[in-house]
Chain A
Amino acid sequence: MTSTSSKATYVIGWAAIVALASSLLFALVLSPPEVSMGDSVRLLYLHLPTIAVSYLGYGITFLGSVIYLRNQSVFWDLLAGAAAEIGVLFTAFVLITGSIWGKPTWGTYWEWDPRLTATTVMFIMYLGYLAIRRMDLPQEVRSRRAAVIGIIAIANLIIVRYSVQWWRGLHQGQTLGVDTQLDGLMLFSLFLSVVAFLFLGAWLLIHRFRVAWLERQVEDMRLARALNERRGEAGDATLGGAVS
């Protein structure tokens, strides 16, 4: 079978499917509505896991960038890029579920809540990182610049997060927080959904990394062909002079 699958991804993939299915069962059916939030608490079982996956993605991007700058490893460069893409995708989910959750809770889709605001800025920041990875520059130049930004981005993330928190903190208490009572079944649903999404994230990351790896291989093959053609040009010229 020609695909990016392997034994490992089958195992992780099936684990993700099973975990997601049972987590849906718990999140939507078995767990009770919360006292103050009502059924909208169920969005939390979606919101929190997506946050976990996106932060893990950015963490891997940071790690990969550090390692790439140390030893120019193609593996870590590509992994950093793949993880950032998944981080951005899941940050989009965080924003969407956050604002959908906000409508019944706050009455609006958007609230200048510190986390929501900081997450949006962070989202755009990592879109910039992905744009750097697509820059029209020689490969090693692009990778090095992306790695530098992948590292700085974490510092930015912290600054943005705390400055926004401070900014809103002066006006009002935190609005989005799990300060409500979650009973055993709810906590279990939350735990299960986080586990399920981590499996899903890992599975996506492996596949996305392999796609990036294959893209690099295709690029290398194209280069090898171009090199041969170029040498052909030189060969034709040499035939006339009968040398080498």
Chain B
Amino acid sequence: MNHWAFVITGYAVVFVGIAVYTGWVLARGRSLTDEVPEERRRFLD
């Protein structure tokens, strides 16, 4: 019984998904920080 195909698929889907989301969030963050002046960039944390 070989389950490796399922294991690899599972890990691939999740990590690709995370990578895409991370890429989107970071890219959006980059473009937004360019738009917003320094003094408005305090994140309150």
Are chains A and B touching in the complex at the 8 Å CB cutoff? yes
Chain A residues lying within 8 Å of B43, measured Cβ to Cβ, are 6, 209-210, 213
Chain A residues lying within 8 Å of B40, measured Cβ to Cβ, are 217, 220-221
Contact A46 B29 (CB under 8 A): no
Chain B residues lying within 8 Å of A5, measured Cβ to Cβ, are 29
Tell me the minimal C-beta distance from B32 to chain A in angstroms. 4
Interface size in chain A (residues, C-beta < 8 A): 41
Contact string against A for B residues 1-26, beta-carbon threshold 8 Å, 1 for contact and 0 otherwise:
11110110111011001100110011
- Give residues 53-109 of A contacting B (CB, 8 Å): 75, 89, 92-93, 96-97, 100-101, 103-104
| Chain B CB within 8 A of A38 CB | yes
Chain A residues lying within 8 Å of B7, measured Cβ to Cβ, are 28, 39-40, 42-43
| Chain B CB within 8 A of A50 CB | yes
Chain B residues lying within 8 Å of A37, measured Cβ to Cβ, are 3
Interface size in chain B (residues, C-beta < 8 A): 30
Residues of A within 8 A of B (CB): 2-6, 8, 24, 28, 37-40, 42-43, 46, 50, 75, 89, 92-93, 96-97, 100-101, 103-104, 200, 204, 206-211, 213-215, 217-218, 220-221
Contact A2 B30 (CB under 8 A): yes
How many A-B contacts are there with CB distance less than 8 Å? Answer: 102
Tell me what chain B mostly uses at the interface: helix, strand, loop, or mixed. helix
Chain A residues lying within 8 Å of B44, measured Cβ to Cβ, are 75, 213
What 5 A-B pairs are tightest by C-beta distance, nearest first? A4-B29, A214-B32, A40-B3, A39-B3, A2-B33
Would you mind naming 17 contact pairs between A and B with Cβ atoms under 8 Å apart? A39-B2, A43-B6, A92-B17, A93-B14, A93-B18, A97-B10, A97-B14, A100-B9, A101-B6, A103-B6, A200-B18, A206-B45, A207-B26, A209-B43, A214-B41, A215-B32, A218-B36
Chain A residues lying within 8 Å of B17, measured Cβ to Cβ, are 89, 92-93
Q: Compute how far the CA of A46 lies from the CA of B8 in the bound complex, rounded to whole angstroms.
A: 11
Contact A207 B11 (CB under 8 A): no
Chain A: CB-nearest residue to B20? A89
Contact B29 A3 (CB under 8 A): yes
